[in-house]
Amino acid sequence: MKFGNNLEHLSIPEWRCYNLAYNDLKYQIRQITQSKSTNLAPLHKAFIENFDYINLFVQTKHGELVRKFNYFDSYFNQLVSVVDTCNKSKLRSILIEIDEIFYQIIEISLVLKNLSKFILIQKIALKKIFKKFLKYYNQDKQKSLKFVVNLKNYLLLNKFSFINFDLSDLTLKLTNIITSIKYEQKRFNNLIDDSPEDAYAESEINQPQTKSTYHIQQDPPTPDANFDLVILLKKNFSLHCLIPDDSNTLNELVLNLNIYLNFKNYIDTSYSFLSYIYLTQESDLYAEPSYVITQKNSPVSIIIGHTGGLRKYCYCILPNEVVQLFLDHLNDRKNDDIRSRLFDYFQENDVSPLTRKTLDSILKGNRKPTMKLLCKRARYILKKSGNDDDDDDEYAVAEEGEGTSSDKVKREYQDDYLVTLDHDICTTNNTKYASSLSFFDDESNESEHYSNVFENFPHNHLSFYSNDSNLCNFENSLETEIDVKDGLLVNNYSSSLLRKLPTKIQNLITSNNSLSLFKGLNFYQYMISCYFNLVPRGDYAKNHYSYLLNLNLLKNFENIENFANQMNSENSIIKAKSNRILRHQLSMKSLDTRAHYTNLNTSHCPEFYLKSKSNKSSPSETVPNNSLGSQTSTRLSNQSIFTNNGKNDDDEPDIEDENEALAGISPTELSRFRQAQFGVDDDDDIYGDDDAAVGNNDYSFFLQPPTFMDRNKFVNIQYQYEMDYDQTLTYIYFSLNILSIFLSGIELGIVYSIFMKIDGDSQFLLVDNVWLVLVLVMGLLLSLIFSMMSINLIFQRYHQAPLFHSFVIWSGFSVVCLCCIWSVFIFIDAGGT
């Protein structure tokens, strides 16, 4: 199917009207091409109008998300700041409000993820329409190329265009606030339960896993150094994925990892700048290299030497100054000054046998630093127990569509899974930089020089490391094929082995078009093919640069079926997470309901409102100007201009003061205040069942979006609707199944009685009874159709059908097929005689 027809299905449904007018632009290109016109001004104008339209939408939507985030972030900080002075009842109320914030943040992240997809699909559409124009406009190739370059510059030079729009900052803020919310929820629960455990206790996953008895040169000083060491030396199996080098796909993946799938960050920082220096043998570049691993701002580096044999690798951890001297010595072994300085260091400090063996293996192997790889790395961990998070197993329930929390079964895997996300990958074989541990700053003048020396790797890299044999079996079943002509990456693997992996990894692999599995990915093999023109051997053959550099990973996003499956999977995960938040809020609400309504009856106006009004605080003192609260004033002013409410202009400041007082309060408290002060029922008012709807009363500017409790009503209604729908389908497909068996049995009986139970003197001629035969055939076909309809309906349920239902339906289908086949054989036998 053509991309113009696919575009509507690949975009976010509610934002389709903002898509690039692909078909219109294609039509204009066709007209210009057929008329052989040289006037491209109308086409240029059409492109610019489309660009401005998309840019405006992206900026507006992003600004809306930023304002919402600032509002909820400000309110969350207010709640956390007063927790030390609250009793248990107030703490429960705060937890309810935090659940509200949590839910709203999830909604913001969902819109942000959709915005990333929207921008990405516009980039794909733009790339295709440019390619189509260059292909078909043959009047003046130089002019057509200049035309496209001008349009590209129009977008590239505008830092707010959808091509340059960066959502990573908001993604990072969402990740941080969700981490803070989960942290504060646990702390508040400990305070309510009077738990003796320290809520600020550091997680064990952030502690180095090495023993204190290790020599200092074998003891990683930081958790991230320990992480990098473990994945290289202690994890035997790995699985690699490639991701398009696009900020939008990266943001989408980060949202999946941090928010929806709840992968644990191994360290607090979002990412770290990492370098790999490859120490190779000049005589045999195919031999396994040794490594020097350095993290930016770290005082030490890890040296990993390839020794071969059973141990294969040995390592040591030394100060950067010593490692730099060692690299200089490898490049110039005749330099006596460097040799003496190294000798003095090792004489003055205790050297472990493993350190000595590591350095000796590199020196005896005559290795030198020849290549360097730089990347930014984020680290995650998935514990083997599967219970490191409260909602680890909610995704399985979301996919099954049924069952309660008591039905959840915790799976324990053979080993922890360590996950790395590497992006902004670049490589070089420049000896000067390959022999240096230094990094460059993005703001420095040296960064431009680095960009000329380092070549960008056109993809990002996600990898899983573990000693779980299930990961090994799945990786062995994986087959990666590359279409060199189109740059397409095709993978085949065993679905049964995939289901043995952790549920989170299954969801990540199956529900992300941005992920492309790649068997045996090895950056060293890729680099020797680039810089030394060597062809990787054996299982590493597909690491040749001609394969990796020409991959078109964005092609995966053009598959409508995969896109629909991804959207359904994401919606299931988000729905499960939202329901969990609702259930938690309901549990806290049930504990606090009696006390809350007692206080509500004694006071019609909340204390925070009276205090705010008496002080007449400005919006800037309550909530940031760019937050949602600051927009309420504008909304009220617009209403006073366009509505005839009979109020004088002199009264406007008082109304504005009241509105400013309400700007910083919570959505649920505002709802309670309206009910007590004005007698407005939020349930009727919000959903339009009362005369006090928006625009029909003087207080419509107080309206807020539905609260969690209101949403929960619709969640229950939706769930009941799904259950009723499934029950109705059950009646239908069981009825069709029984009817098909009944029809096929009658048909078989009639055919058998006609053709098999006649006397020898009698003879049934098919030629003389054509209509009877047609009726019998139609009956058999009808029974087969009914049976197939019942099979189709069982897959149309909202929730997975019980095993008994599937057994009955498929058994009935088998009986119908048997009857039909038997009848056909009787017909054939009768026709032959």
Contact 125, 3 (CB under 8 A): yes
pLDDT band at 826 (very low <50, low <70, confident <90, very high): confident
Quick one: residue 366, left, alpha or beta (phi over 0 = left, psi -120 to 50 = alpha)? left
Q: State the pairing for strand pair 479-483/488-492.
A: antiparallel
How far is it, in rounded angstroms, from Cα 753 to Cα 726?
40
pLDDT at 503 over 70: yes
What is the separation of C-alpha 480 from the centre of its chain, rounded to a whole number of angstroms?
A: 23
Instruction: For residue range 59-103, list pLDDT tens digits in order.
Output: 999 999 999 999 999 989 888 887 777 777 787 788 888 888 888
Q: Residue 370 — pLDDT band, cuts 50, 70, 90?
A: very high
pLDDT band of residue 611 (cuts 50, 70, 90) is very low
Q: How many alpha carbons fall within 13 Å on the CB side of residue 159? A: 0
Q: Compute the distance between CA of residue 603 and CA of residue 568 in angstroms, rounded to an integer.
A: 46
Strand locations in 770-818 (E): none
Residue listed under structure tokens 């020794």: 307
Position 717 scores a pLDDT of: 66
What are the pLDDT digits (tens) for 739-755? 989 888 888 888 777 76
User: Cα dihedral sign for 470, 476, 478, 484?
Assistant: positive
What is the per-residue pLDDT across 451-491, written as a single tens digit (0 to 9) for each?
Answer: 678 899 999 999 999 999 999 999 999 999 998 888 888 88
Q: For a pLDDT cut of 90, what percent of the chain falls above it?
A: 26
Pick from 164, 178, 166, 162: nearest CA to 251: 166
CB-based contact 226:220 (threshold 8 Å): yes
Which CATH fold would you assign to the domain 210-558?
A: mRNA Triphosphatase Cet1; Chain A (3.20.100)
- Position 266 scores a pLDDT of 66
Q: How far apart are CA 307 and CA 365, in angstroms?
A: 9
Average pLDDT over all residues of the chain: 77
Q: What is the pLDDT of residue 767?
A: 61
Query: Are 626 and 67 in contact, with CB atoms under 8 Å apart?
Result: yes
**Of 175, 70, 107, 185, residue with least CA distance to 711:** 107
369 — pLDDT class (breaks 50, 70, 90):
very high
Q: pTM score, two decimals?
A: 0.67
How far apart are the C-alpha atoms of 495 and 478, rounded to whole Å? 10
- Predicted confidence at residue 762, as pLDDT, reads 53
Does the pLDDT value for residue 435 go beyond 80? yes
Alpha helices in 626-707 (DSSP H): 631-642, 652-662, 667-678, 682-687
Q: How far apart are CA 288 and CA 304, in angstroms?
A: 11
Report the C-alpha gap between 19 and 7 in whole angstroms.
8
Distance (Å, whole) CA 185 – CA 587: 14
Name, in order, each residue with C-beta under 8 angstroms of 542's C-beta and a sequence gap of 6 or more.
Answer: 480, 482, 518, 519, 520, 536, 548
Model confidence at 446, pLDDT cuts 50, 70, 90, reads: low
Q: How far apart are CA 76 and CA 240, in angstroms?
A: 38
What is residue 758's predicted lDDT score, i.e. its pLDDT? 56
The better pLDDT of the pair 638, 802 is held by 802
Report whether 166 contacts 160 (CB < 8 A). Answer: no
Q: Where do the structural domains in the chain lie, given as residue ranges?
A: 3-192, 210-558, 603-706, 711-832
Is the pLDDT at 302 greater than 50? The verdict is yes
* pLDDT band for position 521 (cuts 50, 70, 90): very high
